[in-house]
Structure 1
């Protein structure tokens, strides 16, 4: 029998992460970063290098990439270089957003399941809101969510609990009955601090670390794993 955390009758709402949880956006990141680095006259970067940098917001991603490509030259990342990189990245990501990405298997069916069980759904991501909403729309997922909050929606991002606490307030649900569904320690730490139960997917990014080592209430291979448990089972 699956753990009780998989029983959707225990929840009134679900807060769901975006990158690495619903959509595989690594290709978008690599494409936008490649264009940014080329514009700055810097070496390119591989998907394998980018993957563990994803999930902590655009500022962290750009800083990490610049540090990586500058390391062999012993050059120091300056504020001026970061500002140029930031402007370039924002421009290029807006153009490639959704073009090199794909919805993970089972996500759409899982969202349909959540909706059929009466759960209110919110998407909380560290991706900027202006990138998150068009991506969800491009992938046909926007209609599932009552609200979408990006990394710029609040003063602090995940793993701080603020985005989850504020979302529960918006939905009018108690954290104890609001499931956090994500792919990384960022999601788990935010959920623990907010008082939300948390389940992680096995196929996400998680900063290059094994997701099963993260303190969470459960781990799933697909959103549809929730469908294997009947209410009250």
Structure 2
């Protein structure tokens, strides 16, 4: 479905999520996480298990992975083990992710057409992701998407991450646009909750990562099967 306000000239800018919205990065996550787990002498994890954990930042992702592979009945003991392993896990994950960033991922069909359409409509664009900035910027460059964006903000750019509204409000400030005239384009409840709280209209893609839940059950202004529908 098309998002009508785009045609009605009611928008000045759009904020676009990265993982699950523009780029299918599950292969990158699975490869770097399993290299990390091998470094820690821990069992591997399947990509299907990782997918529901994606979206709330790398810190949450790693802790969720460690919780899964440790599989302790005693939650208190598991928490102690996770806390003990986390510094080494983060160092290993960061090293491996930077090394393979973009090699096991692909741009979704329709993304370039959609970004071109948003630009052609006169909208300023920013990429806002919970992914660390040092991961996000090289990924956009590797996939040839960086030139579309006036700003790129990662999960470490502000004091809080989506679903908190702060990153969206700060991104609107950087764009010089009012939240009510700034469209949020994402793939999950994180994006929608942040947009609602910030006062931004929000459209979600139907193909991304929504913590294992049906995305059409999320409170949003519209859903698209491809960013190319944003015309």
Does TM-score exceed 0.5, indicating one fold? Answer: yes
Tell me the equivalent position of 2:49.
49
SS at match of 1:56: coil
- CA spacing shift, 1:80–1:182, aligned 2, 3 Å: same
Maintained 8 Å contact 1:7/1:226: no
Matched, 1:65 2:65: yes
Q: Give 3-state SS (helix, strand or coil) of 1:38's partner.
A: helix
**Structure 2: gaps of 5 or more residues:** none
Alpha-carbon separation, structure 2, partners of 1:119 and 1:30 = 34
Residue pair 1:12, 1:177 contacting (<8 A) in 2 also? yes
Any stretches of 5+ residues in structure 1 without a counterpart?
Answer: 228-233
Question: 2-side partners of 1:164 and 1:209: how far apart?
Answer: 23
Aligned-pair RMSD on alpha carbons?
Answer: 1.4
How many angstroms apart in 2 are the aligned matches of 1:2 and 1:135? Answer: 28
Residue 197 of structure 2 is matched in structure 1 by: 193
The match for 1:84 among 85, 88, 96 is 88
Work out the CA distance in 2 between the residues paired with 1:8 and 1:34. Answer: 47
Q: CA deviation at 1:170?
A: 1.0
What is the CA–CA distance in structure 1 between the aligned matches of 2:208 and 2:133, rounded to whole Å?
A: 20
Instruction: Find the aligned partners of 1:206 and 1:85 in 2 and give their Cα distance.
Output: 24
Cα-to-partner distance string for 1:178-219 (whole Å, 9 max, x where unaligned): 000000000000000000000000000010000000000000
Q: Indicate if the aligned counterparts of 1:185 and 1:211 stay in contact, CA closer than 8 A.
A: yes
Partner of 1:166: 170
**Aligned residue pairs, count:** 227
**1:132 aligns to what?**
136
**Alignment-derived partner of residue 20 in structure 2:** 20
1:226 Cα deviation from its structure 2 partner: 2.0
CA drift at 1:6: 5.1
1:230 alignment partner in structure 2: none
Distance 1:79 1:2 in 2: 46
The 2-side partners of 1:64 and 1:36 are apart by 14
Question: 2:214 pairs with 206, 210, 232, which one?
Answer: 210
Once the 2 structures are TM-superposed, how far is the Cα of residue 172 of structure 1 from its aligned partner? 1.0
Alpha-carbon separation, structure 1, partners of 2:2 and 2:169: 28
Q: Which runs of 4+ in 1 moved over 6 A?
A: none
Pick closer, same or farther for the CA change 1:212–1:145 going to 2, 3 Å: same
**TM-score using structure 1 length:** 0.94
Confirm whether residue 153 of structure 1 aligns to residue 157 of structure 2.
yes
Contact kept in structure 1, 2:179 and 2:198, CA below 8 Å: yes
Corresponding residue number in structure 2 for 1:33: 33
Equivalent residue, structure 2, for 1:231:
none
Give, in whole Å, the separation in 1 of the partners of 2:57 and 2:3: 32
Q: Shift in Å at residue 157 of structure 1?
A: 0.2
> Separation in 2 of the partners of 1:51 and 1:15?
23
1:5 shift after superposition: 4.0
